[in-house]
Structure 1
Amino acid sequence: MAHVEIDYPRLYWLSFAVAGLVTLVRSVVQGLAGVTVQTLLLLVVGMVVFGTALRGLRNPEASGAPTEPTPLLIVAVLAATVYSVFTLATIV
C-alpha cells in the first residue's frame, strides 16, 4: 500500500478558500433577487475569507496553519466542507 503524504497547511487554507468562494457565489445569487444588508454582509465575509485563504495558500508553511492533524485542523476542514456542501445545495 502506498504512503500518501498530506500537505496539512495547504488543505487547511484550501478548505477556507472554497468556503469563501461559495459565500461569494451565494451573495451574488442572492443579489440577483435584490440587494439587502444580508447580501452585502455575505459579500464582505466571502471576500475576507477568500482573500485570507489565498494569502495563506501563497505561503502555507509560514502562514501559521496547522502542520499536523490536530483537532483544530480536523474541525476547521470539516466545518468548512460541511458549510460549502450545504450552502451549494441551497443555491442549486
Structure 2
Amino acid sequence: MADIEVDYPRLYWLSFAVAGLVTLLRAVVVGLSGVTLQTLVLLVVGVVVLGTAARGFRDPAASGAPTEPTPLLVVAVLAATVYSLFTLAAIV
C-alpha cells in the first residue's frame, strides 16, 4: 500500500482559505437583505482570513504553519472545517 504524502502547511492554509471564502459568501447573503454592521464585519473578517491564507500559500515553509501533524494543526483544520460546514448549512 502506498503512503500518502501530505503537505501540512498547505492543508493548514487551505482550511483557512475555505473558511475565508465561506465568510465572504455569508456576508454576501446577509448583505442581500440590507447592509448592516454584521455584513461589514463579516466582509472584513473574510478578507483578512482569505488574505492571510493567500500569503501563507505563497511561501508555506516560511509562513509559520505546522509542518507535521501537531495538535495545533489538527485543531485549526478541524475548527475551520466545522465552521465552514455549519456556516454553509446555515446559508442553505
TM-score by length of 2: 0.98
1-structure distance, mates of 2:61, 2:10: 8
1-structure distance, mates of 2:68, 2:3: 16
Q: Which runs of structure 2 are paired with 1:1-92 in the superposition (5 Å)?
A: 1-92=1-92
| One-letter identity of the residue aligned with 1:19 | A
| One-letter identity of the residue aligned with 1:51 | G
* Identical residues among aligned pairs (%): 80
Runs of 4+ aligned structure 1 residues displaced above 4 Å come to: none
Aligned residues: 92
1-structure distance, mates of 2:84, 2:18: 7
* RMSD, aligned CA: 0.4
| One-letter identity of the residue aligned with 1:52 | T
Q: How far does residue 67 in structure 1 lie from its aligned partner after superposition?
A: 0.2
SS of the residue corresponding to residue 15 of structure 2 reads helix
| One-letter identity of the residue aligned with 1:81 | T
Gaps of 5+ in 2: none
CA deviations 1:19-64 (Å, max 9, x no partner) are 0000000001100011110110000000000000011011111101
SS of the residue corresponding to residue 31 of structure 2 reads helix
TM-score by length of 1: 0.98
SS of the residue corresponding to residue 23 of structure 1 reads helix
